[in-house]
Amino acid sequence: MSPTDGVSLTLGQLAKACGAELAGDADVLIDRVATLDGADKGAIAFLSNPKYRSRLTTTRASAVIVAPADASGTALPKLIAANPYATYACVATLLHPAPPPAPGVHPTAVVSASARLAPSAAVAAHAVIGERTLIGERTSIGPGTVIGDDCSVGADCLLHPRVVLYARTQIGARTIIHSGAVIGADGFGMAELSGRWLKVPQLGRTLIGADVEIGANTTIDRGAIGDTVIEDDVKLDNQIQIAHNCRIGAHTAIAGCVGVAGSTNIGRSCKIGGAAMIAGHLDLADGTVISAATALFDSIHSPGIYTGTFPALPHREWRHVASAMRRLRSIVERIRALERDGSKDKA
């Protein structure tokens, strides 16, 4: 069965498995998920954005997933949940399960004699596994993936094609790593000496927790002396750079193209928008939210939403605003001078 092949479950079974309230015929058979516009018989769709509420009346889905406030908007059988998107994720996982890996090592793979592979692990074509490396039960190693010496990959992991794990990297159970990701490369450690750069040896490791997902072409450097740590349930999008000796707290989600400089500690349950840039040696409190494209140069000790991006304007208007911003310091000084003169006059 391919990942897109579904299974069939009744709406009642889905409600019980996902903890949703059932309204309507529990015996309706559902075999796939779809959008409100694209659904037809046998499909279940979901509504999480109110701007699409009108489509509830036109969808041809066999059932829908809605919030309590939207339940009256359709007579279709439905699952009612406070978080329809999360319920959709649960339903989609049940209806479209990933196929289990076929155990075994492809003849073209290169596995070191001292490596230890669980009997249920799968190693695809042209993969390379280094000395003393451990591969857990039901873990799938994709084609062309290279795992260095003394690594550890936990149970039920999925490493897509062309992932690279440098030596001594540790990966927790149920972690997914997408193609092109490089874990454990040298951090950017350079000391300037007499006008030239002297490379600082990077002696630490990269430790990835359980239930982590790492996007395509994301890079996570190993520590210079200590370790770079990605805690459990962290979700990293594509093309993210995590520098040496960073720590990313559990349940944090980081969107694409974010850069995090070295020795920064990001707390638990943080959310960081795409293309944000975070300077080194900073601390971010648990629950911090950083808006997209924000540049961060100071630590954040109180959780909240932080934004450093100037909203887009028509170019001509932006030039006027930028011109005023360049004169802001002189304008402030003139206002202060006027305030001083006003104070003298009152005296």
Residues 6 or more apart whose CB falls under 8 angstroms from that of 244 comprise 186, 187, 188, 189, 202, 204, 221, 222, 223, 224, 228, 262, 263
Among the options 160, 178, 244, 251, which is catalytic? 244
- Cβ atoms < 10 Å from Cβ of 21: 13
What is the side-by-side order of every strand in the sheet holding 122-123? Answer: 104-105, 122-123, 140-141, 158-159, 176-177, 213-214, 235-236, 253-254, 271-272, 289-290, 305-306
Residues in the chain: 347
Give the dihedral of Cα atoms 123, 125, 131, 133; nearest 10 deg: -20
Residues 6 or more apart whose CB falls under 8 angstroms from that of 168 comprise 148, 149, 150, 151, 184, 205, 206, 222
CA torsion through residues 39, 45, 48, 53, sign: positive
| Cβ density class 248-281: b for 16+ within 10 Å, e for less | bbbbbbbbbbbebbbbbbbbbebbbbbbbbbeee
- Cβ atoms < 10 Å from Cβ of 44: 28
CA torsion through residues 119, 121, 126, 132, sign: negative
For residue 30, which amino acid is it? I
244 catalytically annotated: yes
Q: Which of 133, 215, 224 is nearest to 185 (CA)?
A: 224
Residues annotated as part of the active site: 244
